[in-house]
Structure 1
Amino acid sequence: MAKVAIVTGGGQGIGEGIVRQLAQDGFTVAVADLNEENAQKVATDIGNNSKGYFVDVADKQSVFDLVKHVVSDLGELNVMVNNAGIAKIGQITETSEDDLSKILDVNIKGAFYGIQAAADQMKKQGKGGKIISASSIAGHEGFELLGAYSATKFAVRGLTQVAAKELAKDKITVNAYCPGIVLTPMWDQIDKEMAKIYNVPIGQSLQKNIESIALGRGEEPADVANLVSFLADSKSDYITGQSIIVDGGINFA
């Protein structure tokens, strides 16, 4: 029987890239997204008995219900990818309470609840498992105009380290991936907001960031998915508590 992976935020962007790679690796994938229609379309496209599900990662009950439904439908849970996330652009001094609350709810609570729900199920199964969450290069070094986002991604690194220590006895590894400048709609939106703030043409901020990449190109979702593929595989069994940068050469920490 194929192993089962859940990918939150799997209906588009980096999440969809991860979903497609895991399906190629032989996983049956539970594609979970706030947009259930997108999730179902991707699941149908990749096959492998994969299914689409609704999830609101900011809602603890929704995340726990997701795991419950996936196990009921697909048999077990072997890999949990806490990928869902949002970005808010702006100076710290101008960030609203509502915007701050929303990004904390999705990026931190979403990862926290995903770790909780996956660990609970994996412990019941007694066979270990892998929990993999989305951090960022902005979780290694704060990015200007991404103060709240950077804070959440630093938090994911901390959660990853603590969960790895607490769950090691259960043979559950916990790691994170830290993408750089990924060419997805999220970065298109970041670029538009930066254009307004810096009063520059749309595309200029994105191009400036791409020029800072040692390998000379923007990142594709597949570049991130290749790392997640490794972290989901038995080849990474001796790696836990790590937040691994995959950015083409921007941050050399």
Structure 2
Amino acid sequence: MPIAHVTGAAQGIGKAIALRLAKDGHDIAVSDLSIKSEDLELTRKSIEDLGVRAVALTGDVTDPESVHNLVTDTADQLGALNIMVANAGVAQTKALLDVTPDEYDRVHAVNGRGVFLTYTEAARQMIKQGTGGKIIGASSIAGHKGFPLLGIYSSSKFGVRALTQAAAQEWAEHGITVNAYCPGIVDTHMWVEVDRDLGAINNVEKGESMKAMAAGITLGRVSTGEDVAAYVSFLAGPDSDYMTGQSNLIDGGMLFV
């Protein structure tokens, strides 16, 4: 089976994706920041319990050398890199007029630069191997519509869509497909933080902001990491071989575009 690497896999959507791909039979490399190494190790053990090989690697997706090492260490330890999931990301909830240049740079460093570095290093490894591959990135519903108080986050996720389209066209000749997934409201730690920050700004109780946003979901509930992981499983498998350059919504029916 192919070998996959999932960044930002210590918790949340990344962990759910890693476990789903392991259930699909893939050997998995998982990575995250060193400060999350304990949680990352738990992810690795959970993957191994599913009967596949797993390695845990620490690194920073904003640093070129670090991303290079994540890719080469995956290939060295597991034998190849066939699927790269650029999942690592951060959110920010703040009015645009209050955002500092440093805050803007921080969000775009992870969500934009980090995806760019992960995409390109994975592509170099796949081209070197000569057997094609699948590159999958994390966008968002905020990559299809800019949301108030999430403006900088939205702009970074729009960028992922553009990068995905360009990469798909440039690397098709090498047998590499490039697609992205666009979750809506997901029951993860990140969205708990968004709810907290929105509540502080709008002076409402904990949980009320997420409840208000969730009211617009056609299917009547927020999503789980497993909902997102199911779609990534499709992107990582052979049924998506004729699909590239797409950034599809997995939001339960929040946006219709």
- What TM-score, normalized to structure 2? 0.97
How do residues 63-212 of structure 1 correspond to structure 2 at under 5 angstroms?
A: 63-212=67-216
Q: 2-side partners of 1:41 and 1:33: how far apart?
A: 12
Q: 1-side partners of 2:190 and 2:119: how far apart?
A: 24
Contact in 2 for aligned 1:15/1:84 (Cα 8 Å): yes
2:46 paired residue number: 45
Which secondary structure state, in structure 2, belongs to the residue aligned with residue 98 of structure 1? helix
Deviation at 1:36, TM superposition (A): 2.3
Q: 2-side partners of 1:64 and 1:37: how far apart?
A: 22
2:18 paired residue number: 19
Contact in 1 for aligned 2:31/2:59 (Cα 8 Å): yes
Q: 2-side partners of 1:188 and 1:96: how far apart?
A: 23
Moved over 3 A (4+): none
Which secondary structure state, in structure 2, belongs to the residue aligned with residue 31 of structure 1? strand
Q: 2-side partners of 1:103 and 1:61: how far apart?
A: 20
Deviation at 1:119, TM superposition (A): 0.3
- 2:81 partner letter: L
Deviation at 1:173, TM superposition (A): 0.1
Q: 2-side partners of 1:37 and 1:128: how far apart?
A: 33
Which secondary structure state, in structure 2, belongs to the residue aligned with residue 218 of structure 1? coil
Q: 2-side partners of 1:8 and 1:107: how far apart?
A: 12
Which secondary structure state, in structure 2, belongs to the residue aligned with residue 200 of structure 1? coil
Deviation at 1:248, TM superposition (A): 0.2
Q: 1-side partners of 2:39 and 2:61: how far apart?
A: 16
Q: 2-side partners of 1:75 and 1:223: how far apart?
A: 29
Deviation at 1:37, TM superposition (A): 2.3
Deviation per residue, 1:103-133 (Å, 9 max, x gap): 1100001100011100000001111000000
Deviation at 1:55, TM superposition (A): 1.5
- What TM-score, normalized to structure 1? 0.98
- 1:104 partner letter: H
Q: 1-side partners of 2:244 and 2:143: how far apart?
A: 17
- 1:43 partner letter: R
Contact in 2 for aligned 1:41/1:52 (Cα 8 Å): no
Q: 2-side partners of 1:4 and 1:36: how far apart?
A: 21
Structure 2: 5+ residue stretches without partners: none
Contact in 1 for aligned 2:19/2:46 (Cα 8 Å): no
Which secondary structure state, in structure 2, belongs to the residue aligned with residue 132 of structure 1? strand
- 1:36 partner letter: S
2:217 paired residue number: 213
Aligned Cα RMSD in Å? 0.7
Which secondary structure state, in structure 2, belongs to the residue aligned with residue 251 of structure 1? coil
Deviation at 1:44, TM superposition (A): 1.3
Contact in 2 for aligned 1:5/1:80 (Cα 8 Å): yes
Structure 1: 5+ residue stretches without partners: none
Which secondary structure state, in structure 2, belongs to the residue aligned with residue 166 of structure 1? helix
